[in-house]
Structure 1
């Protein structure tokens, strides 16, 4: 692969990420959270996209749209999803702040970002691999990652705080 082709791939990748971020920004946070919960519960139940779609009477692409938050999930569909996954409907809303209490929205965003990462193939692979390590090695890996983060994170000045 030549330098020009590599540069085009990097630009294309950046554009795709930017488009994804714009699309995510237009998704209501609750729809995004519910979609992430659908994905997590589906993966925990070891159910494929196709099997879940067949179980609730929609295509696997529709399930993907529900999981991404791109398409909102109706109350009746949430009921069908819960029934198919053998969980309570309320589990899709776990982790959301109570609407009456306006708690720190930043905390919810951080939790959603963590859930989103763990829901990716890379995140699942990372967690699965780390769990295969001994507790001693695990703690060393955490220390290593923390030191890398410290090096990569710009120091905050008193002005930034």
Structure 2
């Protein structure tokens, strides 16, 4: 298989976003697979980023999950800017983004519903500041 056919970091990001949305909807891999005409194993491979999702399939998935296609690319620039050395080269063993707990998924879902751009940026700045280590005196 040529390198261009191997899943990439963006494939893993899209898979993670797929998993987040499925869990947000409280669906199993089996339930999503049924809606898409796929086996749960294929859904699992998509979520792990082991198998690439074609453009047509991504469009179908976004429709079933009721999110825009761009949802799957949110955070891509920041994620792809992380040093490559943080990831295993073997796509089966590649580390996905950290698994999200329910509270984090709820925070993301609520944040995405905020329509006021200024408020969103302000909240993001506040969260980043709160998450930063304290500066020594």
Aligned length: 94
The equivalent residue for 1:117 is: 98
1:106 counterpart = 2:65: no
When residues 104 and 55 of structure 1 are mapped into structure 2, their CA distance, relative to the original with a 3 A threshold, is: closer
Secondary structure in 1 aligned to 2:51?
coil
Shift >3 Å, 4+ stretches: 107-110, 125-128
Q: Is the 8 A contact 2:13 2:73 kept in 1?
A: yes
Q: Under a length normalisation based on structure 1, what TM-score does the superposition of the two structures give?
A: 0.49
Q: Identify, as 1 or 2, the structure richer in helix.
A: 1
When residues 38 and 46 of structure 1 are mapped into structure 2, their CA distance, relative to the original with a 3 A threshold, is: same
Q: CA deviation at 1:80?
A: 1.1
CA RMSD of aligned residues (A): 3.5
Cα distance in 1 between the residues matched to 2:99 and 2:18: 13
Q: Is the 8 A contact 1:95 1:108 kept in 2?
A: no
Q: CA deviation at 1:38?
A: 0.4
Unaligned runs of 5+ in 1: 1-25, 129-145, 147-161
Cα distance in 2 between the residues matched to 1:37 and 1:72: 13
Q: How does 1:1-161 map to 2 (within 5 A)?
A: 27-97=7-77, 105-106=81-82, 116-119=97-100, 124=101
Give the structure with higher Rg (CA): 1
When residues 78 and 127 of structure 1 are mapped into structure 2, their CA distance, relative to the original with a 3 A threshold, is: closer
Unaligned runs of 5+ in 2: 1-5, 87-95, 106-132
